[in-house]
Structure 1
Amino acid sequence: MASGGPSPVSSEPTLRRRGLLSTAIISYFFTPFAGLLWIGRGRLAVGFLSAFIAIPLGAYVAVFSGAISLDSDLVRNCEAHLDWLFLAIGIFAAVGVMAISLGPQTPRWYSSGWMVVPAVLIFFAAFVLVGLSARALIYQPFSTPSGSMTPNIVAGDYVAASKWPYGYGRYSMAPLTLPIVGRVFERQPRRGDLIVFKYPKDTSLDYVKRVIGLPGERIQMVAGVVHVDGVPVDRERVGELTDEALSGNKRPVMVYRERLPNGVSYQTLDEREDGILDDTRAFTVDAGSYFVLGDNRDNSADSRVWGTVPAENLIGRVERIYWNSFGLPFAERSDDLMKAD
C-alpha cells in the first residue's frame, strides 16, 4: 500500500541542460577547462587544468635535462606537422567534453555563461605562471650569438642553464623579480663550469664563459697557457679545426685540450701563438668573485679584459646544447662540454 504525503524533492537546483553544440564551441574556442565548467564538472576542470600544465612542464624539463632530444625523428615529425597536431588535440579535447556532457550535469555557481571569460583568463594565467616559475627556478634557455666559446658552444647554439646549482639571486630568478639580497642556498661554482651570468659592466647583457679561477687564487696567462697560483694547467694540442661554419675562420685553427687541476677537460681554440691576450699580468680573484675565460682564446672578451664576475651576477650553469638555429650539429659537442677524469 502506497504511503501518502508529498513526493520527495531534490535539494539540488535544476540546471538547464547544456547542448552539445554550445559545449563544443566553448570547449574548442575557449578551452576544455571552460567547457567543463560550463557543464558543471568543476573537479574534472581542475584535473584537466593540472594535466595541461603538467604535460608541457614535463616536456620542458625533459628537453632541457636531455631526456628528450630535439634531434629525434619523433620531435622533428611533430614540429613539421605542428598546426595539424594542435588542431587534432583541440578537436579531441572538445569531443571529450561533449561526451562527458551526455552524463549528469550538476548545477554550480561557475556553470553560468558569465564564467567563460574568467575561466579562459584563469587557464592561461595558471599556464603562464607555472611556465615563468619553471624558467626562473629550474631551467632557462639562452641563445649564443657569438663564437667566443667555440669549439664547444658556437654561434647559433641554444643552451639550457640550470638555476639551482649556485642558489638563487636577483638575476638568476629572472623573469621573476624578487627583492633578494645576496643569494639563497648559495653554492660555489666548480672550476671548469660553464656559467651564464650578467655582464658586470652592463647587467642588461647575458654572457656565457668558463670558470677558471676561484676566490683568492692568482690567475695568469703565459704564452697562451693558463697558470693557477703559478702552476700551469695541462694543455695538449689535439689537432686543427677546419670547418669554417664552426670556427668562423677561413683558415685552420689550432685545437688544444686543456685539463684543469680538478680533472675537468675541454677543447680550446688558438688562432695564433702570439695573441694579444696570450700573456697577461697576474690577476688575484676577489672574495665572492670568479675569473672566467672563453674557450676561443683569441676571440673572447673575458676576465682578462674586464675583470672578475661577482657571485651575485650568476644566473645558472650550462647543462647542454639543445638546438642550433643554423642547423649545425650539436649533440656530440653537448656531450663534450665538461668532461671530468
Structure 2
Amino acid sequence: MNTTQDAPPAKAGSSLGETIRTVVYALLIALLVRSFLVEPFNIPSGSMIPTLQVGDYLFVWKPAYGYSRFSFPFSPDLFSGRIPDIEPHRGDVAVFRYTHDTSVDYIKRIVGLPGDHIQVRDGELYINNVLVPRKDDGDYVAVDEQRHELAGRLFTETLPGSGGHGPVVHQILRLTDDGEQNHTPDYLVPPGYFFAMGDDRDDSADSRFMNELGYVPMENLVGKAMFIFFSYDARHPVWEFWYWPSEVRWSRIGTWVH
C-alpha cells in the first residue's frame, strides 16, 4: 500500500500576499532612491538649449547640495534650510523649485553665488565687473517646445570657478543683442541665494527678471543634473508609432551634463 502523501497545494492567499509584499518593498526602495539619491526629470522647454534639448530625460543627483524639504515627495514641512548645507558651484546645472510656486521644478545654470555682482551689458555677461570670456562657434538653429525654429549663434563661455573648482566651459545660444535680458542692472546676490540663467540666453525666464524668477533661495535646490538617460524628438504625433525609432536621439543617451 502506498503511504506517501501528496504535499498540500499552495494557498492562493499566501501567493498573493508574497506578491503584494514584493511590490510594496519595490515601491519603498524606489521611494528611498528617489528621495535620497537620484530622481529623473524631463526637459519641457528650450531655455537650456544647446546644453539640454526639449525631450531630454536626465537623472539629478540629490545629495549634491544636501537635503531640504523640497528633496522629498510632497515637500513635507519638517524642517527649514538644508542638511547638510552644501553650497553649489558656479556653473552647475541645477534643478530647483520655482520661487513663485514651489510645486514647479526649474532647471537652469547657476552663474552667481552669494556676494557676486551679476550684470549683462550689450548681451555680454559680467561677473564681479569682469567680462566672462566667450568664443564664437558659428550659426545654430534651435527648435523650441512649440517646434519653432530659432536662428542664432553658438558661443563657448567660460565661467569662473568657485569653491576650489576650476572654470566651467559650456555652450550658450544667442538670438539677439536687444531686449531687457541683454541690458540689466547690476545685481548683487544676497546671502542664502543664487542667481540662475538659461543657456538659451534670449529665451529664458530666469534671475535677470526679478518679477519672474529673481534670486533663488538655496533651500529651493533639488539636485545637480548628472546625465541624459533618454532623449526623444517628438516631431510626429504619438500615434504614428512607425516614427518612434527615428525620433530617439541615440547620440545624446548617456551623455553627461556640463
Normalised-by-shorter TM-score class: 0.7 to 0.9
> Is this contact kept in 2: 1:266–1:336, CA < 8 A?
no
Task: Give the 3-state SS of the residue equivalent to 1:205 in structure 2.
Answer: strand
The structure-2 alpha-carbon separation of the partners of 1:209 and 1:333, relative to structure 1 and needing over 3 Å to count, comes to: farther
**SS of match in other structure, 1:198:** strand
Counterpart for residue 308 of structure 1: 215
Match of 2:136 among 234, 237, 253: 237
Match of 2:224 in 1: 317
Matched residue type, 1:17: A
Equivalents in 1 of 2:52, 2:189: separation in Å? 25
Note the C-alpha offset of 1:121: 2.2
Deviations 1:239-293 (A, max 9, x none): 1113657995546311111101121011111111223311100111111110000
Alignment partner of 2:182: what SS?
coil
Cα offset for 1:117? 3.5
The match for 1:17 is: 7
Q: 1:151 to 1:121 in 2, by over 3 A?
A: same
Structure 1 residue 337, shift from structure 2 partner: 3.3
Deviation digits for residues 185-236 of structure 1, max 9, x if unmatched? 2211111000000001111110000000001111111111111111111112
Q: Which amino acid aligns with 2:223?
A: G
1:286 aligns with 2:206: no
* Correspondence 1:6-85 to 2 at 5 A: 17-19=7-9, 38=10
How far apart are the structure 1 equivalents of 2:121 and 2:254? 29
| CA drift at 1:329 | 2.9
2:35 to 136, 140, 150: 136
Residue in structure 2 matched with residue 205 of structure 1 by the alignment: 104
Aligned position for 2:79: 180
Letter in 2 for 1:202: D
> Which residue in the other structure is 1:337 paired with?
257
User: In 2, distance between residues paired with 1:257 and 1:247?
Assistant: 26
Unaligned runs of 5+ in 1: 1-14, 20-37, 39-111
CA contact under 8 A between 2:62 and 2:223: conserved in structure 1?
yes
Q: Classify the secondary structure of the residue corresponding to 1:119.
A: helix
Cα RMSD (Å): 2.4
Query: Which is further off, 303-312 or 207-216?
Result: 303-312
Structure possessing the higher relative contact order (Cα contacts under 8 Å, 6 or more residues apart): 2
The DSSP-based 3-state class of the residue aligned with 1:121 is helix
Distance 2:192 2:181 in 1: 25
> 1 or 2, which has the higher strand percentage?
2
Q: How does 1:134-173 map to 2 (within 5 A)?
A: 134-173=33-72
Q: Which amino acid aligns with 2:181?
A: L
Shift of 1:120: 2.5
Shift of 1:322: 1.5
Distance 1:143 1:273, change over 3 A: same
Match of 2:203 among 285, 289, 299: 299
How far apart in 1 are the matches of 2:160 and 2:143? 32
Residue 181 of structure 1, CA deviation: 2.2
Q: Which has the higher Rg, Structure 1 or Structure 2?
A: 1
- CA–CA distance in structure 1, aligned partners of residues 96 and 196 of structure 2: 11
Q: 1:207 is paired with a residue of what secondary structure?
A: strand
- Say which SS state the counterpart of residue 154 (structure 1) adopts: coil
CA distance in 2, matches of 1:330, 1:191: 30
**What are the Cα deviations for residues 53-100 of structure 1, in whole angstroms up to 9, with x where unaligned?**
xxxxxxxxxxxxxxxxxxxxxxxxxxxxxxxxxxxxxxxxxxxxxxxx
Distance 1:146 1:159, change over 3 A: same
* Unaligned 5+ runs, structure 2: 162-166, 234-246
- 1:157 to 1:113, Cα distance in 2 relative to 1, 3 A: closer
Conserved 8 A contact 2:46-2:144: no
Query: Is 1:218 aligned to 2:117, yes or no?
Result: yes
- TM-score, with normalisation over the residues of structure 2? 0.82
Task: Tell me what 1:74 maps to.
Answer: none
- Over 3 Å counting, the alpha-carbon distance change for 1:330 and 1:281 in structure 2 is farther
Which amino acid is 1:119 matched to? E
**Identity rate of aligned residues, in percent?**
33
Instruction: Give the counterpart letter for 1:318 in structure 2.
Output: A
Supply the distance in 2 between the matched residues of 1:131 and 1:333 (Cα, whole angstroms). Answer: 22
- The 3-state SS of whatever aligns with 2:118 is strand
